[in-house]
Amino acid sequence: MTVATDNTQLAEEQVADAFHSYLKSSLAQAKAERLLDTELLSSAEADLMITGPALCMYFAALRCTTSPPSVPLPRTSKTAPPMDLSPTNCPPPFAGFLAVWARHVQDIQNLQPEHQHDLARVICGLEPLASPPAPQIPRIAAELRAVAIEISQRRTFQDRYAADLQAALDASSGGGGAGERSRVKASFVPPPMYDASPSPTSSNPGSPRIQPQATNDDGHGHLAVPSSPPPGGPGSSHTHVYHHSRNSSNSSNSSQPLTPTSTHSSYTPDNKGGYTRTHSRTPSPTSPTFLPPDGPAITLIRETLYAALADVLVRTPSIRTALKRDPPRAYFSAVALAILDVSRSRTHISPAAIPGSGQRGDVNDVSVLGVLGARLTLNQCPPPLQPFMRELALIGAAARAMEDEDAQRAVEALQSGARSRNLPDPRMERVRRMLAGGVGAENDRTSDGEGDATGRRSVEGRAVAFANRVNALALAMTKLRAFRERQDEVFKILAMVTS
């Protein structure tokens, strides 16, 4: 049993140091259990930056021995007293993360051992092995991954994650005892730093700017989808695209556009809110790609999303406030909300194009209505961008279905005698709150009621999983070069709007 600490608030650095210490051991343990492999750990894969923190929280829950749940901090010296991270001493920036984690500790510990292992598998995008699977696993995995998405946006985390991955690789290889040449190296590079201070050479001294990073073709400022290109030449880096599966394509270096093949993982969503990951390797072409960085398809999608940002700012005061306090995080939230709005109101997808629909028809019947009435169909979109466009349309179809279900539940509740003020919050409103403020902020709300606690958590789990899906697409799309090139300009506009 660990010794609880006093109420003196811990320093953020102390908590971050402890988290990264546990993260290294969690990644190494996941590799030992074959949840992660060397290829994935050494890659620049976007989803890995979400999987790692989620696994860390999972293993911490298994080790927890206190009530209420707390986390023992590594001792700084042999004579240092035991110290726990608890709600009473947690720094405010981490309080929401700790609260969501603590809420799931008992649920995780109550799972049967085989179901605990299945939870780790689902976190890693693998299918559960037990039959039947535990029904609460998708909800728990979704909420842990939601917290991980927020953690992945912290610059201090991005700066240290490569060292965490390298430690996990070295733990299984003996630290490169066969020589540096045979040592597998983590290729993750943090994205360029967003800098709101004036640039000495800027023509507009009062505007924000993005610090360039010449070797990082996938960098796009502080908000980055958490992958970056590994050093080493053509075909060695990864750029993720999203479909009803998520595949990482390639870019070579900063002077070349995206290329569509390389070692990659694909993630296929299942009906439980999780993803199944498979690996494959295909050779990277040496010829230039056919996809120009300023191609009309991505430009139309980009400008449509950016046009929606103004509406997002008008409707979401919390983001306007956050733009002054934490511009990169607020920008990411605004893009995620813009993706949700565009997907709901400007996309069309035929039933045959929805996985598992069982309907016949044109599976390519997907389109986006862009700015100024321009319509883009899936067939007009270059192949490397089609998964993004299809996922945007699939999110729209799921959002519209969710709203229809919310409306139907409200009608049924009113018909059964419920008062309007007692109706549960629509799931879409919960999704919006999570996209704007994070799953920790939503966890603080108490007006969540719908039926019994199990029913509320079931509905909330689906809302979290859907918010994760929108955030995942936002992470991937803002990493694209076309988005990165306009991001500096958008930062300036947003800064003027909120000034």
Quick one: pLDDT band at residue 491, thresholds 50, 70, 90? low
Q: What angle do CA 260, 266, 270 make, to 5 degrees?
A: 145
Q: Is 148:57 a contact under the CB 8 Å cutoff?
A: yes
Segment holding 51, helix H or strand E:
helix 48-63
What does the pLDDT read at residue 446?
A: 39
Residue 265's φ and ψ, nearest 5 degrees, are -115, 145
Helix extents (H) in 132-216: 137-152, 155-173
Distance CA 264, CA 78 (A): 44
DSSP labels for 60-93?
HHHH---SS--EEEPPSSTTSPPEEE-TTT--HH
**Buried (b) or exposed (e) across 72-111, using 16+ Cβ within 10 A?**
bbeeeeeeeeebbbbeebbbeebebbbbbbbebbebbeeb
- Tell me which amino acid residue 185 is: K
Distance CA 390, CA 347 (A): 9
The tens digit of pLDDT for each residue in 302-338 reads: 888 888 888 888 888 888 888 878 777 888 899 999 9
Contacts 24+ apart (CB under 8 A), 169-173: 169/31, 169/38, 169/41, 169/42, 171/24, 171/28, 171/31, 172/28, 172/31, 172/32, 172/38
Backbone φ/ψ region at 275: left (φ over 0), alpha (ψ -120 to 50), beta: beta
CA 76 to chain centre: 32
Average pLDDT across the chain, whole number: 73
- Give the list of residues 6+ apart from residue 401 with CB closer than 8 angstroms, or none: none
DSSP letter assigned to residue 152: H
The tens digit of pLDDT for each residue in 243-265 reads: 333 333 333 333 333 323 333 33
**Strand, coil or helix: 131:** coil
Higher-confidence residue of 191 and 435: namely 435
Partners of 239 in the β-ladder: 249
What does the pLDDT read at residue 84?
A: 93
What does the pLDDT read at residue 136?
A: 92
Distance CA 481, CA 487 (A): 10
Task: Tell me the percentage of the chain whose pLDDT exceeds 90.
Answer: 31
- Give the list of residues 6+ apart from residue 21 with CB closer than 8 angstroms, or none: 74
**Per the structure block, which two tokens stand in for 198?**
């004036």
**Strand, coil or helix: 240:** strand
The tens digit of pLDDT for each residue in 436-451 reads: 988 876 665 533 444 3
Distance CA 495, CA 313 (A): 12
- Give the list of residues 6+ apart from residue 260 with CB closer than 8 angstroms, or none: 249, 250, 289, 291, 383, 384
Please, what is the end-to-end C-alpha distance for the chain in angstroms?
51
Distance CA 400, CA 392 (A): 12
| Torsion angle defined by CA atoms of residues 11, 442, 120 and 4, in that order, rounded to the nearest 10 degrees | 40
CA 456 to chain centre: 24
Q: Is 87:95 a contact under the CB 8 Å cutoff?
A: yes
Whether the per-residue pLDDT at 119 is higher than 60: the answer is: yes
The tens digit of pLDDT for each residue in 59-88 reads: 999 999 999 999 999 887 888 888 899 999
Name the pTM for this structure. Answer: 0.69
Quick one: pLDDT band at residue 348, thresholds 50, 70, 90? very high
Show the beta-strand stretches assigned E in 322-449.
347-349, 366-369, 375-377
| Torsion angle defined by CA atoms of residues 334, 336, 339 and 341, in that order, rounded to the nearest 10 degrees | -60
